C-alpha cells in the first residue's frame, strides 16, 4: 500500500530563505510592509483614474487594470510568505500549492500580455496620433484585457496540470518561498525532462512573444520621436513612455532571467532572490513609477486633494 500511496502527499514544505534563521522576523516585516505599500499604492492609482474623467483614456484604462492585477498578483504570494516567516509554519497543502501556482501563473502571464498591450497603445499614440481614437477604441481595449487574462488562463492550466501529474515521493521540500513551477518540478521524483521542456517552450514563447511586441513598438516609437521637429514635442512624447519603459525593463529583465533560459529549475537559491523582485517589489513599484514620472497623474492627485480640502 505504501508504494501506491507515494504519489499523493498531502502537503509540501516551503524551505526558501530558511538558511537565515535570524532574519526570519526581518523578512516577515519586509514582506508585510511591501504588501501594505503595494495594496495602498495600487488602490490609490485605481481611485485616481476612476475619479478623474480626464484620465478615462486607453492608457489609463490599461493602467487601472494593471494596478488591479498587481494587487491580485501580490496577494497570491506575499501575505502567506510574510506569515510563514513570522510563525515558522512553512507547510502548504497539496491543493493549496496547486492553487497558488495556478493563480501566480495566471496573473504573471497576464501581466506580460498587459505590458505588451500598453506598448502597442503607446506606439499607436505616438506613431499614429491622428488615428489613435479610432484604433484604440473602447472595444479593442476591453478585448485586449480579456485576451490577456485568457492567455494567462491557458498558460496556468498547462503549467499547473503538467506539474501536478508528477509524482512526489518523500521529497516534500520545495526550495522556494512559494509554489513556483520550476521549484515544484525540482521537488518531484519523476523524470521531469518533459515538464522542463514544456515550461521552457510555453513560458519562453510567451516571454519572447510579448517582449517582441514591446521591442518592436518601442523601436518605432524611438524612430518617430527622433524625427520630431521640436525638442518640446520630443520631450512630451518621451515623458508619456518613460514610466512604461521602466516597468518593462524591470519586469522582462527579471522574468527572462528566471524562465527563459535552460536550467532555470536548477539554481533555486539564486532564483529565490530574483523572484522576490518580480513577485513583491515590481507590483509595489509600479504605482510609484507611474505616479512620479507622470504629469497627468500628479496633476489629478493635486486636484483631488484640493477638492477634499487637504
Is residue 114 within 8 A of residue 206, CB to CB? The reply is no
The residues facing 13 across adjacent strands are 91, 173
pLDDT exceeds cutoff 90 at 288 = no
pLDDT band at 260 (very low <50, low <70, confident <90, very high): low
What is the arithmetic mean of pLDDT over 196-204?
87
Q: pLDDT at position 244, please?
A: 85
Cell of 179: 509554489
pLDDT value for 119: 94
**Strands 173-174 and 11-14, sheet pairing:** parallel
Q: Which residues contact 239 (CB under 8 A, 6 or more apart)?
A: 293, 294, 295
Give me the percent of the chain exceeding a pLDDT of 90.
42
Tens digit of pLDDT for each residue in 77-119?
A: 999 999 888 888 788 999 999 999 999 999 999 999 999 999 9
Band of pLDDT at residue 191, cut at 50, 70 and 90: confident
Phi/psi at 294 (5° precision): -125, 115
**Mean pLDDT, to the nearest integer, of 16-44?**
86
Q: Is the dihedral of CA 219, 224, 230, 235 positive or negative?
A: negative
What's the rounded mean pLDDT across residues 278-304?
Answer: 81
> In degrees rounded to 5, what are phi and psi of residue 164?
-90, 10
- Going from the C-alpha of 12 to that of each of 7, 91, 92, 137, the distances in angstroms are 12, 6, 5, 47
- Domain assignments of the chain as residue spans, ordered by start: 11-292
Confidence category of residue 259, pLDDT binned at 50, 70, 90: low
Mean pLDDT of the chain: 86
- Supply the pLDDT for residue 5: 41
**Range scoring the smallest mean pLDDT among 111-115, 229-233, 238-242, 291-295:** 291-295
pLDDT score of 310: 59
pLDDT at 84: 87
Question: What integer pLDDT is reported at residue 134 of this predicted model?
Answer: 93
CATH architecture of 11-292: Up-down Bundle (1.20)
**Half-sphere CA count of 43, side-chain side, radius 13 A:** 7
- For the chain, give me the number of helices (H) and strands (E)? 12, 3
pLDDT of residue 117: 95
- Give the range among 20-24, 118-122, 201-205, 299-303 with minimum mean pLDDT: 20-24
**Could you tell me which residue, 244 or 32, shows the higher pLDDT?**
32
Percentage of the chain modeled with pLDDT above 70 = 91
Q: Which of 214 and 240 is assigned the larger pLDDT? A: 214
H/E/C letters for each residue in 169-195? CCCCEECCCCCCHHHHHHCCCCCCHHH
pLDDT of residue 2: 38
Is it the case that residue 7 has pLDDT exceeding 60?
no
Amino acid at each position: 500500500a505504501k508504494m501506491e500511496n507515494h504519489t499523493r502527499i498531502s502537503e509540501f514544505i516551503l524551505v526558501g530563505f530558511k538558511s537565515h534563521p535570524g532574519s526570519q522576523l526581518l523578512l516577515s516585516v519586509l514582506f508585510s510592509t511591501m504588501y501594505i505599500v503595494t495594496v495602498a499604492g495600487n488602490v490609490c492609482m485605481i481611485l485616481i483614474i476612476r475619479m478623474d474623467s480626464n484620465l478615462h483614456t486607453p492608457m489609463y484604462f490599461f493602467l487601472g487594470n494593471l494596478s488591479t492585477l498587481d494587487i491580485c498578483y501580490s496577494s497570491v504570494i506575499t501575505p502567506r510568505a510574510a506569515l510563514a516567516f513570522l510563525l515558522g509554519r512553512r507547510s502548504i497543502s497539496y491543493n493549496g500549492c496547486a492553487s497558488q501556482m495556478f493563480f501566480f501563473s495566471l496573473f504573471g502571464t497576464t501581466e506580460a500580455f498587459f505590458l505588451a498591450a500598453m506598448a502597442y497603445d503607446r506606439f499607436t499614440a505616438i506613431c499614429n496620433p491622428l488615428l489613435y481614437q479610432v484604433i484604440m477604441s473602447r472595444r479593442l481595449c476591453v478585448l485586449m484585457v480579456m485576451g490577456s487574462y485568457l492567455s494567462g488562463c491557458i498558460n496556468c492550466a498547462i503549467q499547473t496540470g503538467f506539474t501536478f501529474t508528477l509524482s512526489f515521493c518523500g521529497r516534500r521540500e520545495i526550495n522556494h518561498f512559494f509554489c513556483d513551477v520550476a521549484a515544484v518540478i525540482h521537488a518531484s521524483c519523476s523524470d521531469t525532462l518533459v515538464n522542463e521542456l514544456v515550461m521552457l517552450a510555453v513560458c519562453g514563447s510567451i516571454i519572447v512573444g510579448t517582449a517582441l511586441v514591446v521591442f518592436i513598438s518601442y523601436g518605432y516609437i524611438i524612430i518617430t520621436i527622433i524625427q520630431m521637429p521640436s525638442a518640446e514635442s520630443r520631450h512630451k512624447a518621451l515623458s508619456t513612455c518613460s514610466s512604461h519603459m521602466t516597468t518593462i525593463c524591470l519586469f522582462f529583465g527579471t522574468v527572462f532571467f528566471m524562465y527563459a533560459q535552460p536550467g532555470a529549475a536548477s539554481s533555486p537559491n539564486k532564483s529565490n532572490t530574483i523572484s522576490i523582485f518580480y513577485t513583491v517589489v515590481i507590483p509595489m513599484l509600479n504605482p510609484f513609477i507611474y505616479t512620479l514620472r507622470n504629469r497627468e497623474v500628479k496633476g489629478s492627485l493635486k486636484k483631488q486633494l484640493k477638492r477634499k480640502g487637504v
